[in-house]
Structure 1
Amino acid sequence: MPDRRLDVWEKLADPEAVPLLEAAAIAVADGITPASVMRLRKSFPGTSVAEAIELASARARADAKFADPSAMMLDRAGLEQATSETVAEWKAARFGDAPVLDLCCGIGGDAMALARRGPCTVVDRDPIRAWMAGLNAGAVVRTEAVEVTEIDHALVHLDPARRDESSGRRSWRIEDLVPNLDSIRGILARAEGGAVKLGPGLPRPTPELHACQSLSIIAEHGRLVQAVVWTGRLAREEPCEAVDLPSGRTLSGSPGGFTAAGELDGALLTFHPSIERLELGPVALEAAMGGDAALAGEPAVGLGLVTVPLEVIDSVSSKWFRAVRILEVLPPRPDAVASALRTRFGDEIGEVVVRTRAAAIDVDAWSREFRRIPRNEKGPRVEVLGLRLGRKTVAVIAEPIGLQPSSMP
């Protein structure tokens, strides 16, 4: 039985719908109101005004993910779940020019990049999603469940559902993926290589999906956006890979930990989000510092920060971590910290940046307190970090060391 919803969307792709979509885009830009909806319905009787507004709204938001979304067919839910153009292009490069099945394709964020580098077939049980992906990517379309589709391409890309679209709720449990884990394993076993798109918060260690697999954690503009489990011939020898986009930098290795630190002094290092998530801090330090990496220590288990002696970090530069010089460690009281800042810097202080881990302090409240301190635009930039060290909370006054990586939050 034909899907009537698909008929509505197909009409929006017709050139005759251009005036309606242009008017809907203006209404969205001005802010949708009951009156603007009524005007659209009066000006375009018998048309799909609700879907036109949905499409115009999604296109307006899509600039953050796609270079030119003006001709794309998409809705807001599909856009939210779609891979950005930058991430999709990075992933697609690993597939070479081999034919790819894009399973659970959604609106085609990944399919567009895959289709630009070689043959691509999109598969989705939702006829609207499959149609959107086919149109956006110029790909062959199959409208069917991925569990029953024939794995007749050498490589597969799979984006299991992590959200119940009827309720809009996201599921964080890997056991709730659709298709389920057993189906995913079966699909991957029938392909020469595969890539499974998952959320960056997936459980560690990575669930076994294939006998040969590796994991990439991708950060885009300093924010974790995606985990990819590569299998078969697409997997790498190293088990884990941190990825920074749009720079394209990667760092591979095996997860590891640090010894416990003594006093909170010297330099404090914060790792790139993908490095921290994969526990590749020792790998990043070894690459930047060589044998001196063994001097690093963790002030508290699970904090994600390490300290190193100042003498070994002053001349070190890395895109995978940022360093600050610890100036003073104080009780976690904003008035005490403000007083220490005035004493140390007087009227010469520049910007004060407040950071925390695990909500050890209220960043907004502390920032408001420090705005009262007189500033000098040419003064030094100072950081105040609220940290929980076991059962104790402390405030650290610090200043940046060297150039700070632009991809770090």
Structure 2
Amino acid sequence: MDPRHLSLLLSPDGWALLSRLPRYDEEQALRLSEGLRARGLDPDLVAAALTQSRLRARAESKFGEFAQDMLFTPDGLEQATRLPVAALHAARYARAGSRRVADLGCGLGGDAMALAGLGVQVLAVEQDEATAALATVNLRAFPEATVRHADAMSLDLAAEGVDALFADPARRTRRGNRVFDPSAYSPDLDSLLALREQVADLGLKVGPGIPHHALPSQTQAQWVSVGGSVVEAGLWFGRLAPEGSGRSALLVNGKEQHLLSWPGDADARPEQAPAGALGAYLYEPDGAVIRAGLVARVAADLDGTLVDESIAYVTTGSLRSTPFATGYRVLDSFDFGLKRLRTYLRTRDVGRLTIKKRGTAVVPEQLRQQLGLKGAQEATIVLTRLRGKQSVLVVEPV
């Protein structure tokens, strides 16, 4: 964020303007901006306030009603932990008896908010000056939290009296591209893991795509999905991992939570489920289950098999119930071919088509255009491999 824009927003006039702005509406933004400038308001202040209004609207999916009293940057909001997930983090520290947590690279302060909300003392450290200023604003209502503008890796942990650590390393380049290699995190993963020599209770937020072989053997690696979307992976050590080493998937859907876990070395090769013939039902495991390498567990619980050895779709002969996968009834199946698929759908008057895929290079939007459907009915198809052959499954949710 431009320092001048930040100073304008934090001025009495800037804060008052932010509080008066209506809920952000893209179609009305230009008219509102022109009206504010016509009243003599500083154009830079107007631009900064409307930008914050837009970011606050986007942030509601992560922070709920708290978003309307916070300040954001686009990059900071992108990496910020959703408040319900931050609350899960904070609960780990509270259960572990943590008294003073150093939040290393606190960003906009979401995790520090959740910790402070449970009465845990937090030292929130942020190297970027503007981001540290925003975190200070966002944490102003929490006396348990202190924000410090500093290099998190230079912190004297013993002198600070912290007994637990949380770190969310930057996982984007300066151009905004995602970083998947843990050695390219900032700080890098190995440097953060080395902090356990000083403080054993360590929590790390890592990219959900982190490969299992890059994980420390002795950690509780947990992938979290919210409403069916994988939002993070976390590594937990010491008293923060009372369940011991292993991998787990935590599914959060509103107030419901479902946990699937596997004990052992976190970097172990995932168990392989057997493949079998297509049955009457198809199950799509939650993304957190797939990332955690627990598809075989779900297949076993469903008494099912994979449709292909390398594809994370489970098939069964009878309907089963599980919170860890979405079930579909298989209506039809055939080898993939554009002409055959087009004829099949047009014959059934299909005009609205949901396309799911796994294990195929087909681009759904391109396929939708090639099909040119105009019917009145709707259908769901799954493009995948059946025993190595590209296939189409016609399904309906159960």
TM-based fold match above 0.5: yes
Instruction: Give yes or no for contact 1:354–1:366 (8 Å, CA) kept in 2.
Output: no
Counterpart of 2:328 in structure 1 is: 324
- 3-state SS, counterpart of residue 381 of structure 2: strand
Counterpart of 1:197 in structure 2 is: 205
Number of equivalences: 376
Counterpart of 2:231 in structure 1 is: 225
Q: Tell me, yes or no, if structure 1 residue 267 matches structure 2 residue 281.
A: yes
Instruction: Give yes or no for contact 2:307–2:385 (8 Å, CA) kept in 1.
Output: no
Q: Tell me, yes or no, if structure 1 residue 123 matches structure 2 residue 133.
A: no
CA, structure 1 residues 306+127, in 2 after alignment: closer, same or farther (shift >3 Å)? same
Instruction: Give yes or no for contact 1:267–1:323 (8 Å, CA) kept in 2.
Output: yes
Instruction: Give yes or no for contact 2:183–2:190 (8 Å, CA) kept in 1.
Output: no
Counterpart of 1:299 in structure 2 is: 307
Instruction: Give yes or no for contact 2:103–2:165 (8 Å, CA) kept in 1.
Output: yes
- 3-state SS, counterpart of residue 398 of structure 1: strand
CA, structure 1 residues 215+364, in 2 after alignment: closer, same or farther (shift >3 Å)? same
Instruction: Give yes or no for contact 1:25–1:57 (8 Å, CA) kept in 2.
Output: no
Q: Tell me, yes or no, if structure 1 residue 383 matches structure 2 residue 380.
A: yes
Counterpart of 2:71 in structure 1 is: 73
Counterpart of 1:278 in structure 2 is: 292
C-alpha deviation, 1:327, in angstroms? 3.7
Q: Distance in 2 between matches of 1:46 and 1:274?
A: 45
Counterpart of 1:215 in structure 2 is: 221
Q: Tell me, yes or no, if structure 1 residue 257 matches structure 2 residue 272.
A: yes
- 1:45-60 equivalences under 5 Å are 45=42, 48-60=45-57
CA, structure 1 residues 46+373, in 2 after alignment: closer, same or farther (shift >3 Å)? closer
Q: Give the stretch that moved more between structures: 334-343 or 276-285.
A: 334-343
Quote the sequence identity (%).
26
Q: Distance in 2 between matches of 1:341 and 1:94?
A: 50
C-alpha deviation, 1:359, in angstroms? 4.2
Q: Distance in 1 between matches of 2:54 and 2:333?
A: 49
Q: Tell me, yes or no, if structure 1 residue 237 matches structure 2 residue 239.
A: no
Q: TM-score, normalised by structure 2?
A: 0.82
Counterpart of 1:160 in structure 2 is: 169
CA, structure 1 residues 374+131, in 2 after alignment: closer, same or farther (shift >3 Å)? closer
Instruction: Give yes or no for contact 2:273–2:299 (8 Å, CA) kept in 1.
Output: no
Q: TM-score, normalised by structure 1?
A: 0.80
When the two chains are superposed, the root-mean-square deviation of aligned CA atoms in Å is: 3.2
CA, structure 1 residues 243+77, in 2 after alignment: closer, same or farther (shift >3 Å)? same
- 3-state SS, counterpart of residue 17 of structure 1: helix
Counterpart of 2:267 in structure 1 is: none
Counterpart of 1:406 in structure 2 is: none
Q: Distance in 2 between matches of 1:122 and 1:173?
A: 25
CA, structure 1 residues 333+161, in 2 after alignment: closer, same or farther (shift >3 Å)? same
Runs (5+) with no aligned partner, structure 2: 264-269
C-alpha deviation, 1:135, in angstroms? 2.7
C-alpha deviation, 1:5, in angstroms? 5.8
CA, structure 1 residues 8+214, in 2 after alignment: closer, same or farther (shift >3 Å)? same
- Listed one character per residue, the Cα deviations across residues 296-316 of structure 1 (whole Å, up to 9, x for unaligned) are 3323232111223x1xx32x2
Whichever residue aligns with residue 74 of structure 2, its letter is R
Runs (5+) with no aligned partner, structure 1: 376-380, 403-409
Q: Distance in 2 between matches of 1:258 and 1:121?
A: 45
Q: Distance in 1 between matches of 2:368 and 2:209?
A: 29
- Listed one character per residue, the Cα deviations across residues 125-152 of structure 1 (whole Å, up to 9, x for unaligned) are 1122222223312321121111111223
